Amino acid sequence: MEDSAEVQTEENKVFLDVNKKRTVKTPAQVMALENFYKEHRFPSDEMKAQLAAQIRLTEKQISSWFCHRRLKDKRRDESYANGRQDHSSGVIQDRGSGLRQDSCGSIKQGDYRNVDPREVESRRIYGHDFPAADLTYERRSHQNPYNAHMEDTSSENSSSLHDQRFSESGDPYDMQISANLTQNGAITQIKPRIAKSMGYKPSGYLKVKGELENPAITAVKRQLGRHYQEDGPLLGIEFDPLPPGAFEFHSSNPVNEPIYVGDPRQDHSPDISGVLKQPNLNIINEVHNPKLSSQDSYVEDAKLNTEHGSERQDRKSHHQLKYKSSFLCSNPFPGQNSSINIYESSAGKTAVSDCKRSRMSYKPAVERMGSDSFSNQPGPYGWKIANEQEKPWLHDDDNHTYKAPKNENLSKTSNLIHGCSESQGTERGPSARMAKLEKLGGEWKPKRGYPVRENIDPTNELKVAKRVKVEFPQQNFVANASHSRLPLLTNPTKGSSMDVPSSFSEDETAETSSSLD
Q: Given the rule CB under 7 A, which residues bind DNA?
A: 16, 19-25, 30, 42, 45, 60-61, 63-68, 70-72, 74, 102-104, 106, 108-110, 203-205, 208, 315-316, 426-429, 431-433, 435-436, 439, 448, 451, 453, 455
> CA-to-CA distance for 184 and 352, rounded, in angstroms?
10
Q: What's the closest the beta carbon of residue 111 comes to DNA, in angstroms?
A: 10
Q: Which is nearer to DNA, 464 or 489 (CB)?
A: 464
Q: What's the closest the beta carbon of residue 433 comes to DNA, in angstroms?
A: 6
What interhelical angle do 27-39 and 430-440 show, nearest 10?
130
Q: What's the closest the beta carbon of residue 220 comes to DNA, in angstroms?
A: 24
Q: What are phi and psi of 187, to 5 degrees?
A: -115, 145
Q: Which is nearer to DNA, 107 or 347 (CB)?
A: 107
- CA–chain centroid gap for 447, Å, is 28
Nearest in space to 205 (alpha carbons), one of 490, 386, 431, 385: 431
Q: Which is nearer to DNA, 114 or 289 (CB)?
A: 114
Q: What's the closest the beta carbon of residue 400 comes to DNA, in angstroms?
A: 12
Q: Which is nearer to DNA, 107 or 302 (CB)?
A: 107
Q: Which residues pair with 187 in a beta bridge?
A: 181
Q: What's the closest the beta carbon of residue 213 comes to DNA, in angstroms?
A: 14
Amino acid 119 reads E
| C-beta atoms surrounding 393 within 10 Å | 27
The CA dihedral of 491, 382, 470, 307, to the nearest 10 degrees, is -30
Report yes or no: 315 and 42 within 8 Å, Cβ to Cβ: yes
Q: Which is nearer to DNA, 66 or 383 (CB)?
A: 66
Q: Which is nearer to DNA, 272 or 342 (CB)?
A: 342
Q: What's the closest the beta carbon of residue 381 comes to DNA, in angstroms?
A: 17
Q: Which is nearer to DNA, 140 or 439 (CB)?
A: 439
**Which residues does 508 contact at the CB level (< 8 Å), separation at least 6?**
223, 224, 235, 236, 261, 262
Q: What's the closest the beta carbon of residue 97 comes to DNA, in angstroms?
A: 19
Q: What's the closest the beta carbon of residue 119 comes to DNA, in angstroms?
A: 13
Report yes or no: 423 and 357 within 8 Å, Cβ to Cβ: yes
Q: What's the closest the beta carbon of residue 13 comes to DNA, in angstroms?
A: 11
Nearest in space to 319 (alpha carbons), one of 43, 120, 39, 102: 43
DSSP state of 112: T
Q: Which is nearer to DNA, 70 or 303 (CB)?
A: 70
> CA-to-CA distance for 39 and 60, rounded, in angstroms?
19
Q: Which is nearer to DNA, 103 or 251 (CB)?
A: 103
Q: What's the closest the beta carbon of residue 401 comes to DNA, in angstroms?
A: 7
Q: Which is nearer to DNA, 50 or 278 (CB)?
A: 50
Q: What's the closest the beta carbon of residue 517 comes to DNA, in angstroms?
A: 39
- CA–chain centroid gap for 457, Å, is 29
Q: Which is nearer to DNA, 66 or 137 (CB)?
A: 66
Q: What's the number of CA atoms in the CB half-sphere (13 Å) around residue 31?
A: 31
Alpha helices in 21-88, H assignment, sequence order:
27-39, 45-55, 59-83
In whole angstroms, how large is the CA radius of gyration of the chain? 23
DSSP state of 325: I
Q: Which is nearer to DNA, 7 or 18 (CB)?
A: 18
Report yes or no: 390 and 343 within 8 Å, Cβ to Cβ: yes
> CA-to-CA distance for 336 and 486, rounded, in angstroms?
12
E-strand spans in 379-482? none
Q: What's the closest the beta carbon of residue 451 comes to DNA, in angstroms?
A: 5
Q: Mapped to the 3 state alphabet, what secondary structure does 457-489 carry?
A: CHHHHHHHHHHHHHHCCCCCHHHHHHHHHCCCC
> CA-to-CA distance for 464 and 293, rounded, in angstroms?
33
**Which residues does 389 contact at the CB level (< 8 Å), separation at least 6?**
347, 348
Q: Which is nearer to DNA, 138 or 211 (CB)?
A: 211
> CA-to-CA distance for 447 and 440, rounded, in angstroms?
12
> CA-to-CA distance for 192 and 411, rounded, in angstroms?
11
Q: What's the closest the beta carbon of residue 151 comes to DNA, in angstroms?
A: 18
Q: Which residues pair with 181 in a beta bridge?
A: 187
